[in-house]
Structure 1
Amino acid sequence: MLIFYMKSKISWYFMSWSFLVMFLMLLPSFYSLQDIPHIYLEFSVDSFSSILTMLSCWISSLMILSSSMILNKNMEYMKFMKTVNILNSIIILVFIQKNLFMLYIFFESSLIPTLILILIWGYQPERLQAGMYFIIYTVVGALPLLINLLFMYKINGHSIFLLDMNLPFFNNSWMSNLCWFFLIFAFLIKLPMFSAHLWLPKAHVEAPVAGSMILAALLLKLGGYGLIRMMLAFPNFNSDIAIFLISLNLLGGVMTSMICIRQIDMKKLIAYSSVGHMGMMFSGVMSGTSWGLWGSVMMMIGHAFSSSGLFYLSNLVYEKSNSRSLMMCKGFISITPILSLSMFLLCSLNMGAPPSLNLLSEISLIISILSTYFWFFIPLSLMSFLASVYSLFLYTSTQHGKISSFINFCWSMKSLQLLIVYLHWIPSQLLVVLSNNFF
């Protein structure tokens, strides 16, 4: 909070380091080997929320570093840092809540600073339409959740806690199954689930680089975290509904992967790839197995690093070519080989190449999903193959080919830009070694 009142141009530097220090402070104090939740007043922290809280601090620090040069030119760094700090605080409060009402309040409160990032620091006039899509989808999806919370409060007669919810109306009747579906519907939209994902490409395309990074790395994880909490609170969900939702998301993952192959906009390609990855993560949670649960957490962490880093690199390409089109941005390997190396590392991370956390998460998720229904191996095989295809397509389209005349030839990556890229890539590799302790 003291950094809010600093007038120096290097205040972004202190803000980014404050998030990294918070990450180091969370590491020893919140993690429990016995997976016993720590209760702090009205907050609850266990191994799920602790790793996602540390991820929030890490990505927020990288967001500020990635926007430092742009904000110093426009002299808007103080407004931006206040918005990022408020958004990061709201996201952390979502992850450490034990009261379902408070989780709903902070879950919806994250819309406001995200909308501010899109509307104020967006690139094109279409950001108004993207913000409208983002608000309408999320608010409409959250209304059934609020109605269910009021209904549960009326039945229980006391506050609803995530650690102890044994509700009488969650039995095998069709009404209870419908209530359960609407209870997770808001999290499915934020995930996003296929058929409710149209807000994601629009918001990503119109958001600034920091907005795209936090949308892909953190806001999508709010939906995944809420879904995991609902599954742990209500383990006896209807298997027929689960099979239907898994089938819908796996089919949607295949379709969005095919959409990625025919995309010419870099940001849309990366945004649609998130739908496929989160569809696999959702299917793992719905399988109801421990492999699926921890595999989904690993997928959220790995996807946060890969997609956030790819959005940052796509912004670098956009700054040097003034275009996001894959037809215009070619031949970077002849100008900046270090950019080609960075793009290759993050594209390999996105496709789940070894050794990376994405590969470990995909193996765990495939095992859990196949335990639910064996014939799901067909869409899973297509998703894994198509992920490699569009990741290599993104790399070869931007790095190889004839050099475009739109590209600035007198350009090379700075040390700060390399630091941001490798702070995305290195943790996803180290977490494979530490996965036995963390997951």
Structure 2
Amino acid sequence: MMKLLLTLFMYNLFSFFFNQYKMFNYMILIIMMNILFKLNYINLFNYMYLSFMTDSLNLFLIMLILWTILLAFQSNFSFLNNKNKLNFHFTIMFMMLFLMMFFFSMNLLYFYIFFECSMIPIMLIIMGWGNQIDRIQALMYMLFYTLFGSLPLILIIFIINFNYFSMMMNMLIYYMNLMNIMNNLFIYLFMILGFLIKIPLYCMHLWLPKAHVESPISGSMILASIMLKLGTYGFLRLMLTFKKLFSNFNKIIMPLLIWGTIMSCIVTININDLKIINAYSSIIHMNSMMFSMLTNSYWSLFSSKLMMLSHGLCSSAIFCLINFYYERLNSRNIIIIKGLTNFSPIMSLWWFLFCMSNISAPPSLNFFSEIMLIISMLIYSKLNMILIMLMIFLSSLIYIYFYSISQHNNMYMYMYNMKNFSKREYLINFNHFLPIMFMIMFFNLFF
């Protein structure tokens, strides 16, 4: 795998001199095929190089990274010019490198370093290719939220290394029964705070809508599809390492997650900006997934992996659909952008498919993950039934409202002057939907 990463890096440098993106895209597909053939053989930790290991969880997320970045390049042709294309290519390449190293890391120190380094490229994308002056405020929100939350984690890592002389997660699993120092509420809170901000938890979420609004389409796709998964994956990896600590204190933050999900649904109904609506829907999905994950059952862990993949693809696709109309109308207001089915019924069909996937209607991948999430919540406590029904009703109401307002009603007259959609834009939608259908049809190959 390290040879493949080195080859990817060299092919990118080679493609810079010839100004060709096809070589980069083909290299990503080669790596994904290599990972696909290894999926059925990797169930436990396999050494890749020193502190970098693979298992069935991080390989799926690596595939999601490669596929999303491939689509991010396809969606950027409309605003990139020859002057800044090289800089953008470098930024995306290093983001992909940092993200892959984060997911492969099994050393707590490397885990923290690459978690912080992954913030640098996304900040450069927002600052360099954002369209509005408020991107500086969005950048400061994201920077200080992340730094404030993740700083206590490095202190906990040093405490663990001082007491147990190891920072390898697969070694710390065997020391778990000896860790009396780890049975502490403050250590638990310091360890998870950075990941709760990255998920984000409802009361720590203000950086996410601002970052989505001010970032270009590639930044929104990467934020929704990959950057939110840093929090869920980091939380899940630590929960599998320190099982005793998390089983003792997980119940403390469960009420916050349920309350955050319901409050996000209520807030979203009163918003007019399409990007902010989709950003809040990500908060709803991630909070409900985290509540299920904290039950620490087999159903919850399996459904969390499914939800990370399905949400990453569907949310990224909806941001692309919003951007297609924003490029033509220079507006994301749900009151102005309406009646779109009269202009392009085919694009309206894509809106319907991705909105229904986010509602978890069959036969989407979200449907299977949502059923398993509900089962794990009910196994934990039957009293969750009322809250689950309220969450499902409100989240479904949001996307029904979201789709009906934007696609139906009468069009404004100036919308008849919009240019038609290109083949590239239809191809981006198809490439978002293809992995979802492929994983459903060949479910036994992946899970």
- The verdict on a shared fold, with TM-score over 0.5 as the criterion, is yes
Give ranges in structure 1 of 5+ residues lacking alignment.
Answer: none
In the alignment, structure 1 residue 17 sits paired with structure 2 residue 26: yes
Partner of residue 51, structure 1: 60
Structure 2 letter corresponding to 1:376: N
For structure 2, list consecutive stretches of 5 or more residues without a partner in the other structure.
Answer: 1-9
The percent identity for this pair of structures is 34
Distance in 2 between the 1:137 and 1:261 partners? 26
Instruction: Give the structure 1 partner of residue 350 of structure 2.
Output: 342
Report the number of matched residues.
435
The match for 1:311 among 292, 301, 319 is 319
Q: Is this contact kept in 2: 1:187–1:227, CA < 8 A?
A: yes
**Aligned in 2, Cα 1:313/1:10: closer, same or farther, shift over 3 Å?**
farther
Q: Counterpart in 1 of 2:295?
A: 287
Structure 1 segment 156-171 matched on structure 2, within 5 A: 156-157=164-165, 159-165=166-172, 166-167=175-176, 170-171=179-180
Q: Deviations over 1:70-125 (max 9, x none)?
A: 214x6421111111111011101111111110010000001110100001111210
What SS class does the counterpart of residue 47 from structure 2 fall into? Answer: strand
Conserved 8 A contact 1:163-1:233: yes
| 1:2-48 superposed Cα distances (whole Å, 9 cap, x missing partner) | 4345467862333233222221122113x244612211122100000
| Aligned Cα root-mean-square deviation (Å) | 1.9
Q: Cα distance 1:238–1:41, how it changes in 2: closer, same or farther (>3 A)?
A: closer
Give the letter aligned to residue 79 of structure 2: I
Mapped contact 2:184–2:245 kept (Cα < 8 A): no
Q: Deviations over 1:244-293 (max 9, x none)?
A: 31221111111101222221000000000011100111112110101100
Task: State how far apart, in whole Å, the 1-side matches of 2:168 and 2:274 are.
Answer: 42
Q: Report deviation, 1:58.
A: 0.5
CA distance in 2, matches of 1:39, 1:419: 37
Q: Within 2, Cα distance between the matches of 1:239 and 1:168?
A: 13
Residue 329 (structure 2) pairs with residue 321 (structure 1): yes
Query: Are positions 1:264 and 2:272 aligned together?
Result: yes
1:429 aligns with 2:437: yes
Task: Answer yes or no: is 1:393 the counterpart of 2:401.
Answer: yes
Matched, 1:353 2:361: yes
Q: What amino acid is the match of 1:284?
A: S
Aligned ranges for residues 130-145 of structure 1 at < 5 Å? 130-145=138-153
1:291-322: per-residue Cα shift (whole Å, max 9, x none)? 10011111110000110000010001111111
Counterpart of 2:80 (choices 58, 65, 71) is 71
Normalised by the length of structure 2, the TM-score is 0.93
- Cα distance in structure 2, aligned partners of 1:410 and 1:279: 38
Whole-angstrom CA distance in 1 between matches of 2:91 and 2:394:
37
Contact kept, 8 Å, 1:37 with 1:44, in 2: the verdict is: yes
Alpha-carbon shift at residue 171 of structure 1 (Å): 4.2
SS at match of 1:263: coil
Question: Which aligned runs of 4 or more in structure 1 are off by greater than 6 angstroms?
Answer: none
Q: 1:406, CA displacement in angstroms?
A: 4.3
Asked if 2 retains the 8 angstrom alpha-carbon contact of 1:333 and 1:339, the reply is: yes
Correspondence list, 1:111-130, <5 A: 111-130=119-138
